[in-house]
Amino acid sequence: MKKILLISLIFILLVGLVSGCGSSNTQSSGQPQNQPAETQKEVTLRVGATPVPHAEILEFVKPILKEKGINLEIVEFTDYVQPNKALNDGSIDANFFQHVPYMEEFEKNNNMKLVALVKVHVEPMGVYSKKVKSLEELKDGATISIPNDPTNEGRALLLLQKNGLIKLKDSTSLTATPIDIAENPKNLKFSELDAAQLPRTLQDVDASVINTNFALEAGLNPLKDAIAIEDKDSPYANVLTVRPDNKDDPAIKTLAEVLNSPEVKKFIEDKYQGAIVPAF
């Protein structure tokens, strides 16, 4: 009887030992081995941009960011005012459409604080015309349309000065307006308009100084159609802009890194063929 009891006890111990081993093989950290660990929650970034080339570049990086757990929502704007207002009020997390001189002037005039995170590309500003093939052909009293926002207006006048059409009182002013012109030998007239409207004025004016993003949207090729264009070393690099409160956000930093990646550089060079130049 005792022998049978002893054998039974040994059998029970062996069964328990085998069960314990089986349990350790099927569980890890309290979860079944085949059950996947909890996946990292996807983060959504809303980024404002003008359509060309900014939204196109963002569309290119969208799948790259997706692989990094970031869902990129692109919010398109057709002017230079609303993207900064939307960023400031928190409607979007970042914007991509402007250069630093414009951003700084906008901050000053609208009592807000923005942060330029990384430079992405340069869009050389150009002079376009449907009526003349060179600046030398402009007649006395010709009308030229230019952007009416402070920094791009000054930028346009600096381009005209560099090409010998005018001379400014301060030859380096980034915020010059037509009243700051000291010499105007051809008595040129200036029509100050919203930058987005400039391509539409080409039939009505003798020439127009147009930002490259709006020129591209209008089907103009800066390298082929412009009768004068900024140097490629222009200081007006377009930047990814954020707020002070989210500049250190990991998802924002990842977006900045991707926008400065070799893949984006190649995309810009291949797609725009020199009309837009990487700034990194």
Q: Matching CATH topology for 43-124+235-278 and 129-229?
A: yes
Q: Taking the CA of residue 280 as centre, how many other CA atoms within 13 Å lie in the half-sphere pointing to its CB?
A: 20
% the chain with pLDDT above 90 = 83
Topology of domain 43-124+235-278 in CATH is: D-Maltodextrin-Binding Protein; domain 2 (3.40.190)
What pLDDT shows up at residue 24?
39
Q: What is the pTM of this model?
A: 0.80
What pLDDT shows up at residue 40?
66
The residues, any chain, with a CB within 8 Å of residue 280's CB and separated by 6 or more, are 118, 119, 120, 260, 265
Residue with tokens 């089986």: 22
Count other C-beta atoms under 10 Å from residue 25's C-beta: 9
Q: How far is CA 117 from CA 32, 127, 188, 246, in A?
A: 44, 30, 39, 11
In angstroms, rounded to a whole number, what is the distance separating the alpha carbons of residues 278 and 280? 6
Residue with tokens 């200081």: 235
Topology of domain 129-229 in CATH is: D-Maltodextrin-Binding Protein; domain 2 (3.40.190)
Length of the chain: 280
Classify residue 146 as exposed, middle or buried by CB count within 10 Å of its CB (0-12, 13-18, 19+).
Answer: buried
Q: What is the pLDDT of residues 247-260, one digit of tens each?
A: 999 999 999 999 99
Q: What is the pLDDT of residues 144-177, one digit of tens each?
A: 999 999 899 999 999 999 999 999 999 999 899 9
**Which residues of the chain form beta strands (DSSP E)?**
27-28, 31-32, 43-49, 70-76, 94-99, 115-122, 126-128, 143-147, 167-168, 181-183, 189-193, 207-210, 228-229, 237-242, 277-278
In angstroms, rounded to a whole number, what is the distance separating the alpha carbons of residues 248 and 255? 11
- Does pLDDT of 229 surpass 90? yes
Segments making up each domain of the chain, as ranges? 43-124+235-278, 129-229
Q: How far is CA 272 from CA 90, 112, 121, 192, 223, in A?
A: 32, 33, 11, 28, 10
Cβ–Cβ < 8 Å for 236, 195: no
- Does pLDDT of 26 surpass 50? no
Strand ranges of the sheet holding 277-278, from the earlier edge strand across to the other edge:
70-76, 43-49, 94-99, 237-242, 115-122, 277-278
Q: Which two tokens stand for residue 199?
A: 């391509």
Cβ–Cβ < 8 Å for 74, 96: no
- Does pLDDT of 35 surpass 90? no
How many H helices and E strands in the chain? 9, 15
Residue 108: which of 48, 77, 151, 50 has the closest Cα?
151
In angstroms, rounded to a whole number, what is the distance separating the alpha carbons of residues 231 and 32? 63
- Does pLDDT of 1 surpass 90? no
Instruction: Tell me phi and psi for residue 210, to 5 degrees.
Output: -125, 135
